[in-house]
A and B are shown apart, each in its own frame.
Chain A
Amino acid sequence: MSKHFFGDTTVLLGRSLRHITRSPDTIITTAIMPIAMMLMFVYVFGGAIRTGSDSSYVNYMLPGILLITVASGIAYTAYRLFMDMKGGIFERFQSMPTARSSVLWAHVLTSLVANLISLVVVVLVALLMGFRSGAGVPAWLAVAGILILFTLALTWIAVIPGLSAKTMEGASAFSYPLIFLPFLSSAFVPTASMPGPVRFFAEHQPVTSIVNAIRALFTGQPVGTDIWVALAWCVGILVVAYAFAMRTYRRKIS
């Protein structure tokens, strides 16, 4: 690792954060879709959904909405990286005496910051809609930790199309399946209500365990094995995505 890694990453992080403050629409767009879904589910479909609990439906669905927020937010990570590749500024940085991997890490950290801001916005709207949680500080910290890990995992997935896409649409299209994954999980309806094969998929895909863990933390119930399964999924996806992203990156710079 170059001796300038931290300094260069900080400078480049400052640059991308400035992009975000100058076009806050990326944060707003990221937050608006999950908020719209939340409004629709709570005030339109929610009345017909039986979750098996007495508390407000917004309490039930918020964990899934938070994951959708991250899934739509990382499309911008890929987009920002793609624009740097296409505009030639990526090559400019790579031909300079900087720590080379700083360019990538600055994008990853920017993704983390931008998604955390979007998540806070979504939680605030949920509070206005009646979301209440008895969770204490440790539980909130645990939720934050899971969401950070989830964001990092998805961010490294986003790096791959960001580096290799040929068109802008291609760079962000990969996020659509990720946005829809929560619908095939316990995020909106209990998996017990689904037909066999769908239910099997829903119960064995990462979103369900992550949603269940966050939901348990919010409601102050024991998290059981869900949290370990959730963490294993996040770390597993993170490691695999990181390995593929670095391979794509090394191919780009050789």
Chain B
Amino acid sequence: MTTQQAPAIQVHGLEKSYKELHVLRGVDFEVARGSIFALLGSNGAGKTTAVKILSTLLKPDAGTARVNGFDVATQAANVRESISLTGQFAAVDEILSGRENLVLVARLRHLKNPGRIADELLERFSLTDAGGRKAATYSGGMRRRLDIAMSLIGDPPIIFLDEPTTGLDPQARIEVWQAVRELADRGTTVLLTTQYLDEAEQLADRIAILHEGRIIVNGTLDELKQLLPPAKVEYVEKQPTLEDVFLTLVGTKA
């Protein structure tokens, strides 16, 4: 009974306050199916609060939100069937191995053959060799990959990624970007929050800027660029960025 034609996410007039602090002051946006939507904002702009409301972890004070056609307030169980949340901190069980983490989530999603699902995801995220090791021994990028792999179990049509690359080194960031692009290629709707402008620029089909609890602009990258005066042609010597230098020196595969 999911409404396939409706947008994957519809948010209208969303408000949320913590005591005196008005975190969201009327947020509206829609996310089309199969697209990558970036919620861009500085720290404290309300990105995480919005994601928590959409993933049924918080209740809004006002406004409505529909995810996969289901109302987050009244049909929370259906929403949870439709989504996966990858929170701000890689939420993996450090004491379990990578494979055990995946098996655990597959069991909690009541799927058959949890072991096979785990092995396939380890393979897909290049974690097969590390699969038997405790997640506590993983690097930041590996943890994030495992985290995202855990989110994919059960093929939820919508995935929330809350600041997926915060605290990662440049190589790990590129690995995560690659994983997000693959997700979108498979038709998954991705809503990601980020404070990095280049991340939104690299990944998103549409970008919304959340500022002081409101969406101040919402559009494609080109539309956003048109908000400023037209480009001038200037000749500037192209210097490699420090990131280019770093990645060349350490020889990344991406």
Q: Which A residues are closer than 8 A to B by beta carbons? A: 4, 7-8, 11-12, 15, 18-19, 22-23, 87-89, 91-98, 253-254
Which among B80, B88, B91, B107 is the interface contact of A97 at CB below 8 angstroms?
Answer: B80
What residues on B are CB-neighbors of A93 within 8 Å? Answer: 108
The tally of CB-CB contacts under 8 A between chains A and B is: 61
Tell whether, in the assembled complex, residue A7 and residue B110 are in contact, meaning their CB atoms are under 8 Å apart: yes
A95 with B96: CB separation less than 8 A: no
Can you pick out 20 interface pairs between chain A and chain B where the beta carbons lie within 8 Å of each other? A11-B108, A12-B108, A15-B96, A18-B95, A19-B95, A22-B95, A89-B91, A91-B91, A92-B87, A92-B91, A92-B150, A93-B108, A94-B56, A94-B57, A95-B55, A95-B56, A95-B57, A96-B109, A97-B109, A97-B110
Known: A19-B95, A91-B91, A96-B80. A8 touches B58 (CB 8 A): no
Interface size on B, residues (CB 8 A): 30
Instruction: Identify which of A18, A91, A95, A98 gathers the most chain B CB atoms within 10 Å of its CB.
Output: A95
Across the A-B interface, the 7 shortest Cβ-Cβ residue pairs: A88-B91, A95-B85, A88-B87, A92-B91, A95-B55, A97-B80, A89-B91
Which of A18, A89, A97 counts the most B-chain CB atoms under 10 A from its CB?
A: A97
Chain A residue, CB-CB nearest to B88: A88
Known interface pairs A18-B95, A96-B80; A91-B108 also in contact (CB < 8 Å): no
Q: In the complex, A111 Cα to B85 Cα: how many Å?
A: 28
What is the interface of chain B, defined by CB distance below 8 A to chain A? 52, 55-59, 77, 80-81, 83-85, 87-96, 100, 104-105, 107-110, 150
Inter-chain CA distance A140–B91, complex, in Å, is: 43
A16 to chain B, nearest CB (A): 9
Known A18-B96, A23-B95, A96-B109; contact A91-B81, beta-carbon cutoff 8 A: no
Q: Are A89 and B92 in contact (CB under 8 A)?
A: yes
Per the bound structure, the CA–CA distance linking A94 and B59 in Å amounts to 13
Chain A residues near B108 (CB, 8 Å)? Answer: 8, 11-12, 93, 96, 98
A144 to B49, CA, bound (A): 46
Nearest CB of A to B136, in Å: 10
Cα A159 to Cα B80 with chains together (Å): 25
In the assembly, what is the distance between CA of A11 and CA of B103, in Å?
10
Contact of B110 with A4 in the complex, beta carbons under 8 Å: yes
B-side contacts of A97, CB under 8 Å: 77, 80-81, 109-110
Quick one: which of A19, A22, A253 contacts B57, CB cutoff 8 A? A253
Question: Roughly how many angstroms separate A22 CA and B80 CA in the complex, as a whole number?
Answer: 31
Query: Known contacts A19-B95, A95-B83, A96-B80; is A11 also within 8 Å of B107 by CB?
Result: yes
Decide: A92 and B109 in contact? CB cutoff 8 A. Answer: no
Contacts of B96 in A (CB 8 A): 15, 18
Q: Is the CB of B91 within 8 A of A96?
A: no
| Interchain CB contact under 8 A, B80 and A87 | no
Alpha-carbon gap, A98 to B77, bound state (A): 9
B23 to chain A, nearest CB (A): 15
A8 to B: closest C-beta gap in Å: 6
Excluding A88-B87, A96-B80, 11 further A-B contacts by CB distance (< 8 Å) are A15-B104, A18-B95, A87-B89, A91-B52, A91-B57, A91-B85, A94-B56, A95-B80, A95-B84, A97-B80, A254-B58
**Interchain nearest-CB distance for B196 vs A (Å):** 20
Q: Given the complex, which residues of A lie within 8 Å of B104, measured CB to CB?
A: 11, 15
Cα A13 to Cα B109 in complex, Å, equals: 16
B residues less than 8 Å from A19 (CB atoms):
95
Nearest CB of A to B121, in Å: 15
Selected contact of A96 from candidates B87, B90, B92, B105, CB within 8 Å:
B105
Give the residues in chain A near B91, CB-CB below 8 Å.
Answer: 87-89, 91-92
A91 adjacent to B87 (CB under 8 Å): yes
Per the bound structure, the CA–CA distance linking A53 and B59 in Å amounts to 61
Note all chain A residues with C-beta closer than 8 A to B58.
Answer: 254
Q: Which residues of the other chain, A, contact B80 by a CB distance below 8 angstroms?
A: 95-97
CA distance A87 to B96 in the complex (A): 14
Minimum CB distance partner of B58 in chain A: A254
How far, in angstroms, from A92 to B85 measured CA to CA in the complex?
A: 6
B133 CB to nearest A CB, Å: 13
**Complex CA distance for A209 and B58, rounded to whole angstroms:** 43
In the assembly, what is the distance between CA of A91 and CA of B77, in Å?
15
Measured between beta carbons, the chain A residues less than 8 angstroms from B87 are: 88, 91-92
**A18 CA to B55 CA, complexed, in Å:** 28
